[in-house]
Structure 1
Amino acid sequence: MAFTVVDYIMTRLREQHVDTLFGVPAATCAELFDKASSHGVDPVVTASDLEAGYAADGYARAKGLAAVAVGYGVGTLSMINAIAGAHVERSPVIVLNGGPTVENLNNLKNFDVLFSHSTGRPDTDLNAYELITESAVRVDRAADVPAAVDRAITTAIKRKRPVYVEISKSVWNQGCPMPTGRLSPTNPPAGTEKELATKIVGLIRAANKPLILVGTEIQRYGLADKVADLISKLGVRWSSTLLAKSTLAEKGKGWVGVYHPPHSTPVAKEAVEQADLLVMLGCVFPNGYARLVTGNNGRIVSAYDGKVKIKGGPKQNAEIGALVTELVAAAATAPPGSAPAGVIPAPPPPATGALTYRQVFQRVGAALDDSWIVVPDTFLGDFAAADLPVKGRDAFICGAVWASIGHSVAAAVGISFGSGRRPLVICGDGGFQMTAQALSTMARYGRDPVVVLIDNGIYAYEQFLIDPAYFSNAGAQPKPYVVLNHWDFTKLANSLGVRSATSVDTARAFDDALAAAKTSNAPALIVAKVNPHDLPIELS
């Protein structure tokens, strides 16, 4: 049998350890799903196109590279939000789209005949994805596929961002050359790294209160071991952004906690904001960090996106992996400083009384061990999630920068395929309603995430941003447009195939439900009912 375009793509994906293809099959991409299994790639059909994008994003964050394919136009445009978040938060996803044929494009141009799912413009998907990916390309000939696919995969891995490849649906099963050699997607050093590292370490040694802020690029580029070694050799305090939480194990000398303004713990807030030298490694900042980043140029060293900026100076090229290697070497030339003991989380109190936000996070914190990977949504509990005592490295995945509600439930599908840990989702009821169908995918494929759904009947984060006084007045009414239509969440979960679904309103019942879910290898939903006026202590 001839080696085809689909064979080429699957071969290259397997070389990069991709063993799952997420998506919703359509006539434009069905051939990918037909042949995936023969290459050792499991096709996972999700309950929506948006879920497919989120699932691929979650898989990429856990494993390093993901693939997704949905229908042209109606599928890809539905998925844009998920891929935009992957782009912002450095998650390498390859979007494989079956596009119009040359004949389709000619008929559109010459006779105004719309091809399937066309907007009447020839490049709708291509143009849209150019805005949210690192590269976007259309391929009309089988002979051009190898070069296009190789470039796309290499770019995704080197830049840690999604890429888009649109292949004419007429060429999927056409003959194609076999791959020659293996891809080696690494970023070459810029040649500046040793000099910059020497200067940066010198500044750290000369500072009285230096601190290293660990960002998500450290996890994405596999630099955690080297950065941990750097911190040890320097003997400095360190923190992480929320997006990078658990990139390093959160313990040991110098650890001050996650810095997630404006509601960080007092220890993390003081350590970061009062540091006389702040070295930011691989950080991606949302607006909450603007005050820190824009107002302190004279005491900041930043390294991200292949650039280094020292104390307000010009950006200089530097590959972050080579830079970190040189930083470790430079740090080894002198004895370490004397970092204080790391922050140790306070043990949670016993489970008593009615459920509150605080108790939900206390009970989750008490249950955490190295089998769990926590996946919080964007919701009122963001700042509480930052302080969860997760165990070990790579034990936390979130959408802290893009901040799209509903990400967590669907991303957990992909995480369950890409991580050796069991996803523990914590989300609000508003976010859950965005991607609730993902429970069906979990049940269909025998995945085991546990979803903790905080049920208070409103878009509570929106209410907090609009009128926080509501939460301190038990008689106040929420804004009418933040009130949710109430779902019977347990019955919904049962109807989607999740048999373990329970609703609890006390701390002890929550403990029992989480313990029961952990003993099972099936997906579970725990509906944690809290008063709509309740507020996490971090926001009080």
Structure 2
Amino acid sequence: RPVILIGVEIQRFNLQNTVLKFMAATGIPAAVTLLGKSVIGEHVAGFLGMYAPDEAHAGIRRVVEESDGLILLGARGMDLAPGGDPPAIDPGRRIIATADRIQVGHRRYDGITLADFVNGLAAAAIPERPLATLPGAAVRVPAPLRGDQPLTRAGVYGALADALTDEMVVIADAGAALLTVADLPVQLCSEFMSPASYGGRGFAIPASIGVGLAEPELRTVVLVELDALARNGWELATARQLGLAPVVIVLGPEHATTGGWDPRRLPDVIGGGWSVSCRTVGEFAGAVATAMTRRNEVALIDARLVVG
């Protein structure tokens, strides 16, 4: 029962297509780590879903942890412990291939690069296996919500699931921002970015500048928490100066205090842009729709959430 667990290093070394070739040739199914979300598209045959600690992903976790031949490609040991406690997986039935080591069972092989190992797997004459019926990614269907309901994380997820297209990249800070959108369906490679288990706040807005410059045809949709915006929201001035137009969704508690500053006024400070504040599901959905049409300027949505 072999299973592949794909990590972010596969993307860093541009090995996505090679891994997809290996999956197609062998019929071995694959899951991705939280940090590795969008390393491969989620529509490919054999894609299991995301390996994550919550109950919604319990079926995927079970398949990975009960595999008798777990192949970690670009994923590290900490990726097996997204909830803090590593599973009891026999090291003897595990292959680990990362940028700094190749380990097969208890044996370590130095001097072999990750790229050489993955290319070797794809070129090997491994017999194709019939794709087993396994619990795949449970598609998270947004719950029906009334427009006048107070905004929650579920409301944010539902509006974004309806609005996102293949011409957009979601960039989420670690924490509540990531947990709100981690299950958004991603059809193409590299459409979702987050520091995930690196735990770094303040990643998303600077990352949107890099993505915007590298892939100007894609619209970046950034999710940050209110405290992270206070730290580096000023980077949006750089985005504006460079002609970029990210959609920035700021998640904050409904009654949060901001020390006297108003996130909606940030466009005034950086010299341009559009902003709005939302407290209901309908207001947020309308704000997202409007932001998507404002393709030539920074769009900031101050989304105030109730617990739920």
TM-score (norm 2): 0.88
Aligned to 2:102: 308
Query: Amino acid of the residue matched to residue 456 of structure 1?
Result: P
Residues in 1 aligned to 2:100 and 2:203: alpha-carbon distance in whole angstroms: 28
1:294-350 deviation per Cα after TM superposition (whole angstroms, max 9, x unaligned): 7542332100124211123334432122211221122x4423332337536244344
Does 2:302 correspond to 1:520?
Answer: no
- 3-state SS of paired residue (1:250): coil
Q: Which residue of 2 aligns with 1:397?
A: 193
- Match for 2:233 among 436, 455, 462? 436
Amino acid at match of 2:96: S
Instruction: From the superposition, tell whether residues 526 and 256 of structure 1 become closer, same or farther in structure 2 (CA, over 3 Å).
Output: same
- The one-letter code matched in structure 1 to 2:232 is T
CA distance in 1, matches of 2:126, 2:206: 47
Which of these two proteins has the greater Rg computed from alpha carbons? 1
Match of 2:2 among 187, 199, 210: 210
AA aligned opposite 2:276: T
Q: What is the CA–CA distance in structure 2 between the aligned matches of 1:425 and 1:257, rounded to whole Å?
A: 23
CA shift in 2, pair 1:364/1:436, >3 Å: same
Letter in 1 for 2:59: V
The equivalent residue for 1:297 is 91
Distance 1:523 1:508 in 2: 21
| Cα distance, 1:364–1:503 mapped onto 2, change above 3 Å | same
| Residue of structure 2 equivalent to 1:485 | 259
1:339–1:251: structure 2 CA closer, same or farther, 3 Å change rule?
A: farther
Aligned partner of 1:378 among 169, 174, 189: 174
**Helix, strand or coil at the partner of 2:198:** coil
Q: Distance in 1 between matches of 2:103 and 2:29?
A: 21
2:12 is matched with 220
Corresponding residue for residue 336 of structure 1: 129
* Equivalent residue in structure 2 for 1:251, among 43, 50, 55: 43
**Which fold has the larger relative contact order, with Cα–Cα distance below 8 Å and residues 6 or more apart in sequence?**
2
User: Is the contact made by 1:372 and 1:424 (CA closer than 8 Å) also made in structure 2?
Assistant: yes
Which residue identity is paired with 1:259?
Y
Letter in 1 for 2:187: K
Q: Distance in 1 between matches of 2:179 and 2:78?
A: 14
Partners in 2 of 1:516 and 1:406 — Cα distance?
Answer: 25
SS at match of 2:67: coil
Between 333-342 and 268-277, the greater mean CA deviation after superposition: 333-342
Q: Partner letter of residue 526 of structure 1?
A: I
Contact 1:260 1:386 in 2 (8 A): no
Q: Does 1:507 align with 2:281?
A: yes
Offset at residue 368 of structure 1 (A): 1.5
Matches within 5 A, 1:25-424: 209-261=1-53, 265-284=57-76, 286=78, 288-289=81-82, 291-292=85-86, 295-330=89-124, 332-340=125-133, 342-343=136-137, 345-352=139-146, 353-419=149-215, 420-424=217-221
Q: Does the CA contact (< 8 Å) of 1:399 and 1:407 recur in 2? A: yes
Give RMSD over aligned pairs.
Answer: 2.4
Counterpart CA distance in 2 for 1:253 and 1:344 is 15
What runs of 5+ residues in structure 2 fail to find an aligned partner?
none
Say if 1:212 and 1:280, in contact at 8 Å, map to a contact too: yes
Where in structure 1 are there 5+ consecutive unaligned residues?
1-208, 460-482, 536-540
Give the conservation status (yes or no) of the 8 Å contact 2:65–2:89: no
Per-residue deviation, 1:351: 4.5
* Residues 1:455 and 2:241 aligned together: no
User: Which amino acid counterpart does residue 518 of structure 1 have in structure 2?
Assistant: M
Question: How many residues of Structure 1 are paired with residues of Structure 2 in the alignment?
Answer: 301
8 Å CA contact retained: 2:43, 2:187 = no
**Matched residue type, 1:517:** A
User: Given that residues 380 and 428 in structure 1 are in contact (C-alpha distance below 8 angstroms), is that contact kept between their aligned partners in structure 2?
Assistant: yes
Query: 1:221, 1:338 → 2: CA distance?
Result: 27
Partner AA of 1:525 in structure 2:
L
Instruction: Please give the alpha-carbon distance, in whole angstroms, between the structure 2 residues aligned to 1:516 and 1:456.
Output: 23
Is 1:446–2:243 an aligned residue pair? Answer: yes
Distance in 1 between residues matched to 2:292 and 2:77, nearest whole Å: 34
Q: Flag the 1:487–1:278 CA change in 2: closer, same or farther, 3 A.
A: farther
> Residues 447 and 523 of structure 1 are in contact (CA less than 8 Å); yes or no, is this contact kept in structure 2?
yes
CA shift, 1:510, in A, is 1.2
Q: CA deviation digits over 1:403-425, x for unaligned, max 9? A: 21111112211211112421111
How far has the Cα of 1:520 moved from its partner?
A: 1.6
